Amino acid sequence: MKLLFLCLLAFGCGTEPSPKPRPMPIPRPIPKPKPKPKPIPKPEPKPVLDSCVQPGKTYRVRRGQYKGRGMWLRPDADCKAVLVAGNNGTGAPSMYYAQEAQALATAGFAVVWPENPQTGSGKTCMEGLEWGFRQPYILQDRYGVQGHSQGGSATVVCGGLAARRWPDKKQSLIPNQAASGMSRPDYAQVARSVKGKSLFFNGTADSVVRESWTQTLYNVTGGQKAWILGLRATHFNSSGWMKELSPLWHKYALFDDMEAKAKLDALGGAKWRWKNRIR
């Protein structure tokens, strides 16, 4: 018994030692994934603005200010309008032509109509075109010119000067009761530079500028030409014809709009008579 006690005391006599407790593992933080670099946002492309001149499309009109008492009208819309420059007759105010300017702006054109007692040199018209092309929302590759009496002659002169200045731009002209050669002795030479389509207008009751006076300018004007008469139109009421005629002609001449051409071809009856048809 004593021997057994000594054995147990010294060696444990065959009993296994109790295992030492293992230390608890220290938890390691799980590494976070590196954040992906944010993509650099690409700038949104600027929207391409369509021309305001569209078949059947009409607009409210926004009025602005041109120098002096001249008119500046454009469609009240975020689209690109086609510039048309007007030329007044001798001493006539620009507002005299408000009906045709309003009709053009309603149809998608931007109208600058300077006022000058003597427009025949074409200088006033060229200043109006240069100013108009600098305005926002203006289509840059085409334009129209129209005008009455001395301004009708100025329309062709301005068309010739503009064709020399901007040979790559498409042009359309409406000389209304053109008093050929006023304030521009070399008008015939300049008129030959016209490259666009021109629609001449005369009134059958016009006792101021008869067809024979306009004929001189018609003969020397370059480009394609047509000539229409307003039945019973006098020298002083042609805006009633112009407000109908102007948008149709510029749409056809500048955009090859066949719907506009069909309407032009159909003009007749008690209000119109073609002298020379559209080619």
The rounded distance, in Å, linking the Cα atoms of 19 and 111 is: 103
| pLDDT interval class at 258 (50, 70, 90) | very high
Confidence of residue 44 (pLDDT cuts 50, 70, 90): low
- Per-residue pLDDT band at 17 (split at 50, 70, 90): low
pTM: 0.84
Average pLDDT over residues 240-265: 97
Mean pLDDT of the chain: 91
Q: Where are the domains of the chain?
A: 61-276
DSSP 73: E
Predicted confidence (pLDDT) per residue in 93-139, tens digit: 999 999 999 999 999 999 999 999 999 999 999 999 999 999 999 99
- Spatial CB neighbours of 264, under 8 Å, sequence gap ≥ 6: 248, 249, 252, 278
Residue 3 is predicted with a pLDDT of 52
Instruction: Assign 39 a pLDDT band (cuts: 50, 70, 90).
Output: confident
Categorise residue 140: left if φ over 0, alpha if ψ from -120 to 50, beta otherwise: alpha
Tell me which of 52 and 13 has the higher pLDDT.
52
CA-angle at 261, arms to 137 and 143, nearest 5°: 30
| Per-residue model confidence (pLDDT) at position 15 | 53
The tens digit of pLDDT for each residue in 135-179 reads: 999 999 999 999 999 999 999 999 999 999 999 999 999 999 999
Specify the CATH number of the domain 61-276. Answer: 3.40.50.1820
Give the residue with greater pLDDT, 14 vs 42: 42
